[in-house]
Amino acid sequence: MTVDTLSPQDHIALAERWGAHDSVPFPVVLAGGEGAWVSDVEGRRYLDFHGGYSAINFGHRHPALVAAAKTQLDRLTLSTRAFHNDQYAPFCRDLAELTNTEMVLPSNSGGEAIDTAVKIARKWAYQVKGVPDGAAEIIVAGANFHGRTMTIISFSTHDNHRAGFGPFTPGFKVVPFGDIDALRSAVTENTAAVLLEPIQGEAGIVVPPKGYLAEVRELCDDSNTLFIADEIQCGLARSGPTLALDEAGVRADLYTLGKSLSGGLLPLSAVIGRADVIGVITPGDHGSTFGGSPLACAVGRATVALLATGEFQERSRELGAHLHARLNELDGVTEVRGRGLWAGVQIAEERTAGRRVTELLAERGLLCKEDRGHLRVAPPLVVTLEEIDLGVDMIADVLA
């Protein structure tokens, strides 16, 4: 039996038998994708309103990204950082120029980028701020999602992310998201950094109160504390501007990027920001075999080139306004949160039965993610106005 002859049930049974049970995938076996559409092994097409948790910002198999990958596959895929390669430095330069930052440290996954930012912040606190060795603290927000490494789940407030995995990494304080008074009370002379998502993704696409991010910046300046913005999901035009913090007119000291940095083609992430902060990392302090590989950097350069035109930022803002307006009109919707082509659609309790909502949407040809009573809507930024209307009409039909 070859892969091409396997039925959806065969694939699901094989995954159940041989794959680790680390998730509960939706019972659709995808085999192809183009733009805002995917198809399963039986050829049925679905409109993608999931967007790979923001990794598919530029649609499935964007021609420019695929072409960059194919070209690089014929040249060089890996050099490690033991040697220079001809894609690394141009990628770092291009990404820094796009984001108006000074230094780039590439890595692979978003979780790796967060771990790296934590390491940088702690070393900066000891070497620059003068925090006693081993005493550095990092303040995070409740309901955060930054990944699932051991360090990251140590400051998660999601019980299912932590249960059974202790003991946890110390050195973190948790305060409510959007509460500047709680944050101010938590800062001490040992605070190395404040780590926040400018818009919380897994919490339900939650936008903080107006002025909050500017107040965080002011507090960090006053206390000589680093501001780290996790833009792995909300950044790179997903919420409108290139960086979500730009909407508030605020700059972070460090940013973490990932997911759509490679357009969903392969793992690529980065910590970007101030050179004097990232510069505390010296040879031997940190490393990654695949981080900054020529293949990843070539695709990353193609991604940066797409963003440099401003087209996707404009599409996110304009089409996002239409998406939010349509969603707010739906019966059974109590709240629509978010910005750009990113929405958390809160459904009235009597209209939802958890996963059943997404099952009904899939039957109609729409793929979406449901979590804790809200639909997560994040179509690729290449989606058309007509496709948005088609998807929203399917949601309306299910909620009717």
Q: How many alpha carbons fall within 13 Å on the CB side of residue 41?
A: 14
Say which of 94, 227, 259, 290 is annotated catalytic.
259
Asked whether the whole model's pTM tops 0.75, one would answer yes
List C-alpha distances in Å: 9 to 5, 197, 364: 11, 38, 20
At residue 371, the pLDDT reads 80
Say which of 49, 145, 177, 290 is annotated catalytic.
145
Whether residue 85 is predicted with pLDDT greater than 70 in this model: the reply is yes
E strand residue ranges, the chain: 30-34, 37-40, 45-48, 103-107, 137-141, 172-175, 191-196, 226-230, 254-257, 269-273, 333-338, 343-347, 366-367, 369-371, 374-377
At residue 241, the pLDDT reads 98
- DSSP code string of 186-220: H--TTEEEEEE-SSBTTTTSBPPPTTHHHHHHHHH
Q: For residue 123, indicate whether it is catalytic.
A: no
* Average of per-residue pLDDT across 273-277: 98
Q: What is the pLDDT of residues 255-267, one digit of tens each?
A: 999 999 999 999 9
Q: For residue 145, indicate whether it is catalytic.
A: yes
* Average of per-residue pLDDT across 217-238: 98
At residue 5, the pLDDT reads 87
Mean confidence (pLDDT) of the chain: 96
Cis geometry, peptide bond prior to residue 167 (ω within 30 degrees of 0)? yes
* Average of per-residue pLDDT across 300-313: 98
Tell me if residue 368 falls in helix, strand or coil.
coil
Q: For residue 70, indicate whether it is catalytic.
A: no
**Cβ contact 236:65 at 8 Å:** no
Alpha carbons 137 and 173: distance in angstroms, whole number: 7
At residue 1, the pLDDT reads 63
Q: What is the pLDDT of residues 341-352, one digit of tens each?
A: 999 999 988 776
| Domains parsed from the chain with CATH numbers | 3-62+311-399 (3.90.1150.10), 75-308 (3.40.640.10)
At residue 72, the pLDDT reads 98
Alpha carbons 380 and 38: distance in angstroms, whole number: 11
Give the Cα-Cα-Cα angle 238, 347, 327 (nearest 5 degrees): 50
Q: What is the pLDDT of residues 163-199, one digit of tens each?
A: 999 999 999 999 999 999 999 999 999 999 999 999 9
Q: What is the pLDDT of residues 8-44, one digit of tens each?
A: 999 999 999 999 999 989 899 999 999 999 999 999 9
Say which of 230, 246, 253, 312 is annotated catalytic.
230
